[in-house]
C-alpha cells in the first residue's frame, strides 16, 4: 500500500511493457515450457518440446545484442515511445542529438536540466511523465542529469515542486535558487504546462540551443520583486454561476464564468488564490483564465491560461503566470457542474517604481 520509489518505477516499466506483445508472448511461453518440464518429467515428447522452447527463448534473449534485434527489442529504439502518442508525444532524431549535446556541454555542476512533464495521479500516487522531446534525456541519455521526471535521479524534486514552481506558475527565482538553470522543452503546445509556455513567451526562458522539434532554454530571473496586492474573491459579475455569501460558486451551466475587475490597470505577474472544488468525478477540473488590458476583450486563444484544478477535501493553492498589463480577469473553472470555494485571492504585481 506504500510502495517505495523503486517499486513504483518497476510498476511504470511493467505498464509500458504491455505494449510489447512479443515480449509478453516470450515470457508466457517460457513459463509454460518450465511448467511442462516440471509437471511431465516422464513424457519424453512434451519434455523435449519444452526444452526446445526454452532454448529458443534463451537464443532470442541472447540475440538482444545483435543490431537487428536491438532495433526490435530495445525499448529506447522501438515503438515504445510512439505507443504513448498523443499523451506523451514522439521523439525525433533531432531531439536525441540535442540530448547528446546537452549531456556533453552541461555537466552535473551546472545543475540538473528541467523537463516538461505531465503531472498525473493514480489514487494517492503522484507521477510526472515527460512529454515529447523531454523524454529524450531519460531514454537516451547516460548522465542522468535531469529533474521533474517520474523518478527524479536525485530524488530531490518531484510532483509537488513541479506543481508549485513550474506547471501553472514558472517560478524563475525558485529554479535558480535550487540550481535548476536549464529546461529541455518540446516545440509547440506544452499543455498542461501554462507556466512553461508563458515563461517561454515573456523571456523568463531564453533558448540557447534549438532544433526543429525542441530547444534547450536557460532560466532568466525576474528583474524586479513582485509585491502582493490583495483582490476580493467576490467577482464583479458572474455568468451561469450562483455566488454565495461564504465565497462559494455553484455552476448553473456548462459555460460558468467569474469576472474580476481592477480599480486601475496593473502589470500583473501572477494571480494566486486558495480553493476547493468538487464535482461528480475525481478528474481534475480543466479551468481557463482570461485576462485583458485597456481597450482589449477576452479572446479564446490570446491572453489565456489553461490550468488544472485538483479536486480534494483539503484546500489547495494555485498560482497562474500572467506577466501582462491587466484591468480585467475572467475565470472559467470547468465545463462540468461544480462547486468552487475561493478565498485569499491576490495579485503579484510590478512595484510602481519599476520601469
Peptide bond into 43 cis (omega under 30): no
Characterise 46 by phi-psi region: left (phi > 0), alpha (psi -120 to 50), beta (else). alpha
For the whole prediction, is pTM greater than 0.75? yes
Contact 146, 138 (CB under 8 A): yes
Written as one string, the DSSP assignment of 65-132 is GSHHHHHHH-TTTSTTTGGGTTTS----HHHHHHHHHHHHHS-GGG-PEEE-EEEEEETTEEEEEE-G
Q: How high is the pLDDT of residue 24?
A: 66
Distance CA 296, CA 132 (A): 34
Among the listed residues 137, 153, 146, the one whose alpha carbon sits nearest the alpha carbon of residue 101 = 137
Among the listed residues 333, 277, 305, the one whose alpha carbon sits nearest the alpha carbon of residue 193 = 305
User: In a 3-state reduction of DSSP, which class is residue 37?
Assistant: helix
Q: How high is the pLDDT of residue 140?
A: 85
Among the listed residues 261, 256, 228, the one whose alpha carbon sits nearest the alpha carbon of residue 240 = 256
Distance CA 319, CA 269 (A): 10
Quick one: cell of 50? 519444452
Q: How high is the pLDDT of residue 61?
A: 64
Distance CA 201, CA 106 (A): 24
Q: How high is the pLDDT of residue 85?
A: 46
Contact 92, 33 (CB under 8 A): no
Size (the chain), residues: 355
Q: How high is the pLDDT of residue 98?
A: 96
User: Cell 527489442 belongs to which residue?
Assistant: 73
- Digit-by-digit pLDDT tens for the chain (355 residues) are 677 767 776 776 676 665 556 666 777 777 777 877 777 666 677 777 778 877 777 777 666 556 545 544 444 444 334 344 445 677 888 999 999 999 999 998 999 999 999 988 776 778 888 998 998 998 888 888 999 987 677 777 888 899 999 999 999 999 999 999 999 999 998 989 999 999 999 999 999 999 999 999 999 999 999 999 999 999 999 999 999 988 899 998 889 999 999 999 999 999 999 999 988 677 788 999 999 999 999 998 899 999 988 887 789 999 999 999 999 999 999 999 999 999 999 999 999 888 7
Quick one: cell of 225? 520583486
- Other beta carbons within 10 angstroms of residue 93's beta carbon come to 10
Amino acid at each position: 500500500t506504500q510502495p517505495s520509489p523503486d517499486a513504483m518505477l518497476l510498476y511504470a516499466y511493467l505498464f509500458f511493457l504491455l505494449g510489447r506483445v512479443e515480449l509478453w508472448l516470450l515470457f508466457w511461453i517460457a513459463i509454460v515450457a518450465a511448467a511442462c518440464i516440471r509437471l511431465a518429467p516422464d513424457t519424453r515428447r512434451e519434455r523435449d518440446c519444452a526444452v526446445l522452447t526454452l532454448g529458443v527463448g534463451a537464443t532470442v534473449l541472447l540475440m538482444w545484442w545483435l543490431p537487428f534485434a536491438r532495433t526490435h527489442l530495445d525499448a529506447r529504439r522501438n515503438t515504445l515511445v510512439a505507443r504513448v502518442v498523443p499523451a506523451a508525444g514522439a521523439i525525433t532524431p533531432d531531439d536525441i542529438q540535442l540530448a547528446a549535446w546537452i549531456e556533453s556541454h552541461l555537466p552535473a555542476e551546472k545543475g540538473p536540466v528541467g523537463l516538461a512533464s505531465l503531472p498525473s495521479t493514480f489514487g494517492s500516487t503522484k507521477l510526472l511523465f515527460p512529454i515529447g522531446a523531454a523524454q529524450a534525456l531519460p531514454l537516451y541519455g547516460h548522465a542522468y542529469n535531469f529533474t521533474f521526471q517520474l523518478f527524479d535521479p536525485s530524488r530531490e524534486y518531484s510532483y509537488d515542486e513541479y506543481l508549485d514552481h513550474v506547471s501553472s506558475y514558472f517560478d524563475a527565482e525558485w529554479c535558480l535558487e535550487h540550481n535548476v538553470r536549464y529546461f529541455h522543452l518540446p516545440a509547440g503546445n506544452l499543455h498542461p504546462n501554462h507556466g512553461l509556455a508563458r515563461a517561454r513567451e515573456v523571456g523568463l526562458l531564453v533558448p540557447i540551443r534549438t532544433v526543429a522539434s525542441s530547444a534547450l532554454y536557460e532560466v532568466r530571473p525576474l528583474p524586479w520583486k513582485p509585491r502582493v496586492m490583495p483582490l476580493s474573491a467576490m467577482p464583479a459579475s458572474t455568468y451561469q454561476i450562483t455566488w454565495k455569501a461564504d465565497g462559494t460558486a455553484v455552476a448553473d451551466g456548462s459555460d460558468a464564468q467569474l469576472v474580476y475587475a481592477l480599480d486601475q490597470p496593473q502589470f500583473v505577474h501572477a494571480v494566486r488564490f486558495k480553493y476547493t472544488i468538487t464535482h461528480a468525478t475525481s478528474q481534475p477540473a480543466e479551468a481557463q483564465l482570461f485576462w485583458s488590458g485597456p481597450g482589449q476583450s477576452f479572446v479564446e486563444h490570446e491572453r489565456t491560461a489553461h490550468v488544472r484544478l485538483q479536486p480534494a477535501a483539503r484546500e489547495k493553492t494555485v498560482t497562474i503566470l500572467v506577466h501582462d498589463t491587466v484591468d480585467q480577469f475572467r475565470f472559467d473553472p470547468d465545463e462540468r457542474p461544480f462547486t468552487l470555494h475561493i478565498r485569499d485571492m491576490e495579485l503579484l504585481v510590478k512595484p510602481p517604481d519599476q520601469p
